Structure 1
Amino acid sequence: MSDYLEAVAAPLRGPRRVREDMLAEIGDGFDEAVAERVAAGMSREAALDEAAAEFGEPRTVAAEVQRELEASQARRTAWTLLIALPAMTVMWDLFSGDGDPGLAVTLLARVIDAATAVAFGAAALVLTGHLERRAAYVCGLLGLVQIAVALGCSAVIALVADDEGPAGAWVVLALASAVGTALVCTASARALVVARASRPRPR
């Protein structure tokens, strides 16, 4: 990898495959520009300098690539929220039992539903192209907020609700919830890291 490409790649954060593909495209174009100049009789050192000047400062190129990486990560996180959150909600509804849960449990469940709806709505806006500005940050933040709200309310529900249903069902529900929580937390954390890398840095 050339020094120029290394300088472009150094600050980048985002989906690995997308990052590698974009760097490969830049590298191919850079190598081609250098080869054309060398073929025209220019020394390799001079060709490298001139190609770098043509492509622009590595910092500027990296900022453009980072914006694409942020958009890609936002879409990935949005898909995770769009699939995992409703799935976990449906599972909780299936195993919640048919009896009267009581006012406290009902209110806590509605709080979870509201947090889920907000995160789900933001994810839908990202995937439909209606939310572009800071999309990765919004998805990441709301994903973590939803999980925090769900875990907190679920803990209180477990304390105040009467035990219902077979123990095996609750074990399955707990395991499935743990998997969904891990997926959402991982995707959301990655989105926040990428969003932070996309923030303009002072010169």
Structure 2
Amino acid sequence: MDHVTAIDSYVRELDRRLHGPRRRKADMIVEVRDGLRDAADAVRAGSPGVSPAEAERQAVEEFGPVPDLAPEFQTELAVTQAWRTAWVFAVALPLVMTVTTLMWRGGGSGVEPGAAYLDLARATDLFLIVASVSFAVALLALHVLARRAASPVGLVRTVGVAALCTVLAMMVSGLFLTMGAPGGGISLWGALVGGLPTLPGYGLLFYLGVRCLRLTRPRRPGAGRPSRRPAPVPSA
């Protein structure tokens, strides 16, 4: 085995097992590779007679088996994904509410909406406000859990489920508001067709929620489960 094979083989196996935000994963792999190379250099500095290949082998052995360490790295990736998801929702939901309100006011038909329609519109606005605040609180909670040595896995899954439920609620509410618009209500089919331009945005938000759940799901045999040990505080 040549000088780089032990470390490169270790890094390739770790890379294969990890799933998550690509930039953070790439940074993580680089950090591991650099750490192993520094450890191998330290072995050779302390024992000049040790061959480069043996120094790498010792560095990899001291670092620990990939199956044991991968779950901890995977948890960090899951937390990063949850942090990004919560950030997007915390910012996007107030924007959605603002845009839809302006569109409703600017495109009004002059017909006074009924009580049921107003109740649904107000409930939708209240839901968006509460959801946005909740996702903002989730951002803080992810930091607090990490600093207090608590497991963030449950919160990551909660963020994922909340994201999916929020998107579905927004879509259903939008359909009903479109169908029951005063003076301009349309059929269900018409509302579905008219909502096609919003599907990419909803699809992205839905994907973020699914991603949170997938990154905390147990992998194939040997890949291990996400670690329940605290993860480093995430960044955007």
**TM-score calculated relative to the size of structure 1:** 0.79
The question of whether the paired residues in 2 share the 8 Å contact of 1:84 and 1:184 is answered with no
The reply to whether residue 61 of structure 1 matches residue 69 of structure 2 is yes
The question of whether the paired residues in 1 share the 8 Å contact of 2:120 and 2:177 is answered with yes
The question of whether the paired residues in 2 share the 8 Å contact of 1:80 and 1:187 is answered with no
* 1:1-203 superposed matches below 5 A: 2-38=8-44, 40-96=48-104, 97=108, 99-129=111-141, 132=145, 133=152, 134-164=154-184, 177-196=198-217, 199-200=226-227
The list of structure 1 runs, each at least 4 consecutive aligned residues, that deviate by more than 6 angstroms after superposition, is none
- Alpha-carbon distance, 1:84 to partner: 1.2
The question of whether the paired residues in 2 share the 8 Å contact of 1:77 and 1:136 is answered with no
- Point out where structure 2 has 5 or more consecutive residues left out of the alignment: 1-6, 146-151, 185-190, 219-224, 229-236
Partner of 1:167: none
- Alpha-carbon distance, 1:18 to partner: 0.8
Distance change in 2, residues 1:114/1:60 (3 Å)? farther
- The share of aligned pairs that are identical, in percent, is 29
1: distance between equivalents of 2:82 and 2:196? Answer: 27
The question of whether the paired residues in 1 share the 8 Å contact of 2:74 and 2:227 is answered with no
- Point out where structure 1 has 5 or more consecutive residues left out of the alignment: 165-169
The question of whether the paired residues in 1 share the 8 Å contact of 2:113 and 2:181 is answered with yes
2: distance between equivalents of 1:116 and 1:154? Answer: 12
Instruction: String of CA shifts for 1:47-81, please: whole Å, max 9, x gaps.
Output: 33321221112123222222221221122111110
Aligned residues: 195
Matched to 2:215, the amino acid is: V
| 3-state secondary structure, aligned to 1:10 | helix
1: distance between equivalents of 2:24 and 2:83? Answer: 12
2: distance between equivalents of 1:199 and 1:101? Answer: 50
1: distance between equivalents of 2:77 and 2:15? Answer: 12
2: distance between equivalents of 1:33 and 1:182? Answer: 44
Task: Say what the alpha-carbon RMSD is for the aligned residues.
Answer: 3.0
**TM-score calculated relative to the size of structure 2:** 0.69
Instruction: String of CA shifts for 1:117-172, please: whole Å, max 9, x gaps.
Output: 443233111222466433332222212111111111222222233345xxxxx9xx
- Alpha-carbon distance, 1:104 to partner: 2.5
